[in-house]
């Protein structure tokens, strides 16, 4: 098989070729590795190359499962592979090897996927861009001066650049949908508890975070949901599953839907005209498909929601930084300055502040449920702006020198009231104000690549459904995919074969 043939198939299609004996898994892995070597110097998407592991899996005579033989990459955050480190985007964790597989990793292995590496992520997944002190900047294959988003930015870049047809991802505040929107991919965040996060984590970020994938085709994500959503007896709770396989959704058109849309930022911040056009264009497309689409409002205080989200996020950042420092005997100053700031603010929170902020998540959940009493789905931009330029949200270098001593003195409470911290939060959320609602409420949501800007950049649109609507979302996504195909729309080759900066991933 040649690379141009490899690129024409999604993961399900490649697995069918392997099952028929038309191609060997080792040949597919060779193509993925060659492609990685060719484009990764320009996009910096792979943080850990596990080439020997991939070769061993590809040679196994007992390789079986619905996706047997398909090359696959893990996200380097929360997706542990026994014997290899999970860096979480930070240097101190690169020396700590996982003792056992994460539940999702084991399920991917059982499905026959050939895992040969891990992809970059911002430190602890805490940004909507993928730029770190340890790994540098990951770049968007559509324009290497732009970000692929975060926190699953490396996975998005690798899939968009054609290294693999699908890759591991996760979403705690938009981290599947944001990269999908930046890179022209499909990304569906599962609802709370549908995909288990175990065995070492039960309900990450109070249930706001969940594993998943990024893909080029809807049917790949549907097939992956069949693999990932089996109940886990050790999970904190069990949620209902459809009475039929998710893969059936791509061949079964949805009923006619009533969809409410808005392009207004819930935080009151600016929304780029391209993002507004993306939603208006999607609304027109949906109407042409027979759905009822109309402007709607949510009745949610978006500014309050952002603060309550960040309260829980900063507390989680503080806990994660402290845990990592104990585990690796590192100092807080060994981490990115943004991580230090978030952790300092979270450490300064009182327990009542955290509990009250989390308690208000119920208010937003009730409000969204009321909206879904009238509308089947909510349609918004996924991003408020086209993909940001590399370095656009970078914290000033001076802060790296000035802030750490103050943070070590416990200045988190004071810092949380400064313009510096407010600007840091605004910079991280104003470009992506639409995605946190689905995490807080635990509802499924997807980004569909329906729009490209005048400059040729992808800019996806988001659909948020009620609890248990993953099947419906897949149905609608497949309908849109048929009406406006995106699978063969690829980044220009000239832009992703020229090295931008030396890669800093490691090989094990």
The catalytic residue positions are: 75, 151, 175
Q: Cα torsion at 159, 161, 165, 166 (round to 10°)?
A: 0
Reading the block at residue 500, the tokens are 């931008």
DSSP annotation of 235 reads S
Please tell me the distance from the alpha carbon of residue 74 to that of residue 82, in angstroms, as a whole number.
13
Going by C-beta distance under 8 Å and a sequence separation of 6 or more, which residues neighbour residue 131? 122, 137, 138, 147, 390, 391, 393, 394
- 209 — phi, psi (to 5°)? -105, 145
Tell me how crowded residue 352 is: count the other CB atoms within 10 A of its CB. 8
- Burial class from Cβ neighbours inside 10 Å (0-12, 13-18, 19+) for residue 99 reads exposed
DSSP annotation of 236 reads S
Please tell me the distance from the alpha carbon of residue 165 to that of residue 139, in angstroms, as a whole number.
18
Please tell me the distance from the alpha carbon of residue 347 to that of residue 341, in angstroms, as a whole number.
10
Indicate if the alpha-carbon torsion angle 465, 431, 450, 274 is positive or negative: positive
- Beta-strand ranges (E) seen in 356-439 are 377-381
Please tell me the distance from the alpha carbon of residue 187 to that of residue 216, in angstroms, as a whole number.
9
Please tell me the distance from the alpha carbon of residue 453 to that of residue 476, in angstroms, as a whole number.
23
Residues present in the chain in total: 508
Longest dimension (CA), the chain: 64
Helix (H, G, I), strand (E, B) or coil at 137: strand
Reading the block at residue 316, the tokens are 């989680």
- Burial class from Cβ neighbours inside 10 Å (0-12, 13-18, 19+) for residue 302 reads buried
38-69 per-residue burial string, b: 16 or more CB within 10 A, e: under 16: bbbbbbbbbbbbbeebbbebbeeeebebbbbb
**Is residue 88 within 8 Å of residue 124, measured between CB atoms?**
yes
β-bridge partners, 379: 261, 463
């Amino acid at each position: 098989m040649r690379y141009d043939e490899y690129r024409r198939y999604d993961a399900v299609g490649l697995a069918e070729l392997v099952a028929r004996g038309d191609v060997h898994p080792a040949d597919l892995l060779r193509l993925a590795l060659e492609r990685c070597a060719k484009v990764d110097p320009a996009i910096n998407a792979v943080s850990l190359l596990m080439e020997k592991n991939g070769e061993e899996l590809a040679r196994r005579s007992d390789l079986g499962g619905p996706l047997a033989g398909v090359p696959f990459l893990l996200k380097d955050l929360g997706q542990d592979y026994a014997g290899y480190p999970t860096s979480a985007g930070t240097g101190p964790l690169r020396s700590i090897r996982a003792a056992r597989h994460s539940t999702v990793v084991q399920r991917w292995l059982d499905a026959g996927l050939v895992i040969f590496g891990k992809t970059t992520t911002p430190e602890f997944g805490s940004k909507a861009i993928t730029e770190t002190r340890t790994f540098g900047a990951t770049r968007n294959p559509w324009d290497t001066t732009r970000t692929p988003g975060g926190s699953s930015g490396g996975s998005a870049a690798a899939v968009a650049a054609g290294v693999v047809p699908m890759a591991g991802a996760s979403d705690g505040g938009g981290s599947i949908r944001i990269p999908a929107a930046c890179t022209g991919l499909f990304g569906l965040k599962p609802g709370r508890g549908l995909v288990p996060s175990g065995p070492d984590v039960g309900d990450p970020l109070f249930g706001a975070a969940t594993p998943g994938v990024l893909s080029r085709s809807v049917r790949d994500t549907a097939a992956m949901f069949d693999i990932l959503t089996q109940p886990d007896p050790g999970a904190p709770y069990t949620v209902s599953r459809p009475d039929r396989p998710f893969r059936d959704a791509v061949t079964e058109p949805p009923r006619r839907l009533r969809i409410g849309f808005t392009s207004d930022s819930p935080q009151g911040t600016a929304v780029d005209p391209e993002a507004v056009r993306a939603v208006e264009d999607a609304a027109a497309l949906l109407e042409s498909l027979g759905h009822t689409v109309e402007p709607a409002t949510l009745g949610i205080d978006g500014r309050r929601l952002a603060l309550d989200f960040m309260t829980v996020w900063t507390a989680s950042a503080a806990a994660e930084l402290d845990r990592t420092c104990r585990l690796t005997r590192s100092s807080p100053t060994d981490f990115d300055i943004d991580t230090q700031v978030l952790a300092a603010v979270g450490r300064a929170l009182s327990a009542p502040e955290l509990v009250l902020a989390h308690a208000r998540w119920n208010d937003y959940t009730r409000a969204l449920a009321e909206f879904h009493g009238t509308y089947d789905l909510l349609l918004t931009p996924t991003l408020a702006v086209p993909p940001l330029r590399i370095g656009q949200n970078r914290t000033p270098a001076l802060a790296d020198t000035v802030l750490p001593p103050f943070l070590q003195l416990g200045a988190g409470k004071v810092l949380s009231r400064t313009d510096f911290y407010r600007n840091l939060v605004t910079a991280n959320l104003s470009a992506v104000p639409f995605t946190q609602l689905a995490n807080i409420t635990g509802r499924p949501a997807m980004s569909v690549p329906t729009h490209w800007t005048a400059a040729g950049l992808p800019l996806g649109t988001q659909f948020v459904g009620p609890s248990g609507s993953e099947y419906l979302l897949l149905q609608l996504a497949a309908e849109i995919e048929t009406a406006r195909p995106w699978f063969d729309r690829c980044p220009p080759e000239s832009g992703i074969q020229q090295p931008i900066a030396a890669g800093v991933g490691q090989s094990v």
